[in-house]
Chain A
Amino acid sequence: MFPRPIEQTSSTTQTLYKIALPIALVIWLLPLIAVAMTSVRSAGDITAGNYWGWPTSFNFWANYSGIFEATPIGQYILNSFKVTIPTVIGAVALSCMTGFALAVYKFKGNLLIFFMFVAGNFVPFQILMVPVRDLTLDLGMYNTWYGLALFHIAFQAGFCTLFMRNFIRAMPFELIEAARVEGVSEIRIFWFVVLPLMKPAIAALSVLIFTFIWNDYFWATVLTQGAENQPITAGLYSLNGQWVAAWHLVSAGSIVAALPPVLMFFLMQRHFIAGLTLGAVK
């Protein structure tokens, strides 16, 4: 193991390390800690400039219920779920099939199609912006959750295909061969042989895509407008405009917006990291 395990060092080093850990963590998360603290302050504290001292009162409930009552933040959150959940299902479903096709079959153009997905996944969003906005307008889906979700499904198919294809590639091919010898049809091989083995990849991809889409801001501003349909990231931007210097409300709103992906991460941590680090080790 590198660096040398701390247990093998002198006891002073060990103590120092154990002291350094929490200090480093607090410094690292200082901006977030500050936000969490501010989100429970009173408006009086904010106007008095008491940002960093002890709060004069704890207004946890007042601030958090306040933003839900006074602003459409609840609607924004709902919109985010309406976009994110179908995207996760759609992108994972599409890429299970494309990944399977590209990993299992040898045919002309296989690598070319695979590279098309990979390259497309890396293009800057701006080169897609104008045509995709037009297309969405033409389809009558501008400013709807499904218009946004459809685009996300298509775009995420690139990354998801890369992920799924490499995952299936690492599976034992003999299983498929054996099933073919038995005369099992290709669709049944996909459904009964391969798909059950893909569960960990599906879980990893689902949490990753959930986070990516939840946190998307660019496409939310391009394809939606107004509180009716905008997801929370875009909503937070416009709320920030209304809450000039009302930092206790901005902070509470930020925390509400961050909560779903954070919960997702902590609940599915193992899958999340497995997904993110695919390819980091050979």
Chain B
Amino acid sequence: MTALPDTSATNKSWWKQNQQRLAPWLFLAPGIFMFAIYVIIPIFQSINISFYAWDGLGEAEWVGAENYVELMDDEAFYTSLKNNVLWLILYMLAIPAGLFVALFLNQTVRGIRIYKSLFFFPFVISQVVVGLVFAWFYDPTNGLMNIILGWFGAGPIAVLADEDYVTYGIIAAGLWPQTAYCMILYLTGLNAVDPEQIEAARLDNAKGAKLLWYVILPQLRPATFIAVVVTVIGALRSFDLISIMTDGGPWGSSRVLAFYMYEQAFSEYGFRMGYGAAIAVVLFLIMMVYIAGFLWKMYRDETGR
């Protein structure tokens, strides 16, 4: 960077000569410092803790892979893992649902902007509130769902107290804000779809589902990609709703890894930091598959330019 065309470069101060080389590091320093301390280093610390038995207060005792061995025989772990898979699969419904709502709302009638923002509403409110709202919606005696079921002579079903339904009930609550999120992604995407291509396709007599599949969806690919990314992360991060709606119950049947980890690390069952960390590492490895995929795509986009 000293190769400035200016011949008097040698007379300039050291700082002036080197500032272009040093400036990025000075700008990065505070951000990297904070991120390293609170995010990067803790990841490795957690991996390390997962090899210890530790109650969070006394001395940690090295136990090698024992925590992981215990995990393999832990029925609660498998329940959580199974529920995580359910979350991952069913949460994906938010993507077509969001697309559907976006297509429904992608019009220019009067007041449509207010409709769009009101449809987006569930995403803005806290999951704690969403959880409370749905816990009440499912309430077996007075909940709206069972009143409606009653009209058809069915029910009442205590969704959140039933081992078979509870996870589905919570996922349904989660789908509500997530669909709103996907909807807004698709509305933005639809805005950017090339109108000429649609006209050309229409001249060729393409319409309805065919037009959507062959012409519109390919153009919505960036929106779909982001929707998949945020939905996968949302599914694997599911914690708030479970904590609010059931606290993992009944009998631990609605736990997911994120929740089970928290429960093991600090709850009435005692502080088992090492075991909790081992669960977190498993969750982290599952997430890493997606993170690696995402980074790979970004890498191709960055270098392919």
Q: Which residue numbers of A lie inside 8 Å of B, CB to CB?
A: 1-3, 5-7, 17-18, 21, 24-25, 28-32, 34-35, 49, 51-52, 94-95, 97-98, 100-102, 104-105, 107, 110-111, 113, 115-120, 122-132, 134-135, 150-151, 153-155, 157-158, 161, 180, 185-187, 190, 211, 214-215, 217-218, 221-222, 232-233, 236-237, 240, 247, 250-251, 254, 257-258, 261-262, 265-266, 269, 273, 276-277, 279-282
Chain B residue nearest to A122 in the complex (CB): B291
Chain B contacts for A125, CB-based, 8 A: 237, 239, 258
A155-B21 contact, Cβ under 8 Å, with A32-B121, A258-B126: no
Chain B contacts for A94, CB-based, 8 A: 30-31, 34
B279 pairs with A126, CB closer than 8 A: yes
B236 pairs with A120, CB closer than 8 A: no
Distance in Å: Cβ of B212 to nearest Cβ of chain A:
7
A49 pairs with B193, CB closer than 8 A: no
Q: Is the interface of B mostly helix, strand, loop or mixed?
A: helix
- Cα distance A48–B75 when bound, in Å? 43
A150 pairs with B299, CB closer than 8 A: no
Query: Interface 1/0s, chain B 112-128, versus A by CB < 8 A?
Result: 10010111111011111
Which one of B86-94, B134-142, B160-168 is at the A interface? B134-142
- Cα distance A120–B35 when bound, in Å? 8
A281 pairs with B28, CB closer than 8 A: no
Q: Enumerate 24 A-B pairs (CB-CB under 8 Å) in ascending A order.
A: A3-B106, A21-B109, A32-B121, A34-B133, A94-B34, A97-B27, A107-B24, A117-B35, A128-B38, A129-B261, A130-B276, A131-B45, A131-B49, A180-B20, A186-B20, A186-B23, A211-B124, A214-B126, A217-B243, A232-B126, A254-B133, A257-B128, A265-B117, A269-B117
B222 pairs with A157, CB closer than 8 A: no
B128 pairs with A233, CB closer than 8 A: yes
Query: Interface 1/0s, chain B 179-194, versus A by CB < 8 A?
Result: 0010011101111110
Chain B residue nearest to A100 in the complex (CB): B27
Query: Does B277 interact with chain A (Cβ within 8 Å)?
Result: yes
A32 pairs with B280, CB closer than 8 A: no
Query: Does B85 interact with chain A (Cβ within 8 Å)?
Result: no
Chain B residue nearest to A116 in the complex (CB): B40
A49 pairs with B141, CB closer than 8 A: yes
B287 pairs with A124, CB closer than 8 A: yes
Chain A contacts for B302, CB-based, 8 A: 111
Query: Does B132 interact with chain A (Cβ within 8 Å)?
Result: yes
Query: Does B63 interact with chain A (Cβ within 8 Å)?
Result: no
Contact of A2 among B30, B211, B281 (CB under 8 A): B211
Chain A residue nearest to B287 in the complex (CB): A124
Chain A contacts for B37, CB-based, 8 A: 135, 154
A157 pairs with B243, CB closer than 8 A: no
Chain B contacts for A113, CB-based, 8 A: 28, 32
Chain B contacts for A116, CB-based, 8 A: 35, 40
A280 pairs with B107, CB closer than 8 A: no
Chain A contacts for B222, CB-based, 8 A: 279-282
A122-B277 contact, Cβ under 8 Å, with A29-B118, A215-B126, A218-B240: no
Distance in Å: Cβ of A258 to nearest Cβ of chain B:
4
A126 pairs with B106, CB closer than 8 A: no
- Cα distance A1–B192 when bound, in Å? 9
Chain A contacts for B212, CB-based, 8 A: 2
Chain B contacts for A118, CB-based, 8 A: 294-295, 298
A150 pairs with B287, CB closer than 8 A: no
- Cα distance A186–B108 when bound, in Å? 46
- Cα distance A17–B103 when bound, in Å? 12
A129 pairs with B38, CB closer than 8 A: no
Chain A contacts for B2, CB-based, 8 A: none
A128 pairs with B46, CB closer than 8 A: yes
B35 pairs with A154, CB closer than 8 A: yes
A105-B23 contact, Cβ under 8 Å, with A120-B35, A154-B35, A261-B124: yes
- Cα distance A201–B165 when bound, in Å? 43
- Cα distance A81–B283 when bound, in Å? 31
Chain B contacts for A3, CB-based, 8 A: 103, 106-107
- Cα distance A39–B30 when bound, in Å? 45
B121 pairs with A273, CB closer than 8 A: no
Distance in Å: Cβ of B219 to nearest Cβ of chain A:
9
Chain A residue nearest to B49 in the complex (CB): A130
Contact of B126 among A25, A29, A261 (CB under 8 A): A261
- Cα distance A251–B126 when bound, in Å? 13
Contact of A237 among B118, B121, B243 (CB under 8 A): B243
Interface residues of B in 41-84 (CB under 8 A from A): 41-43, 45-46, 49, 56
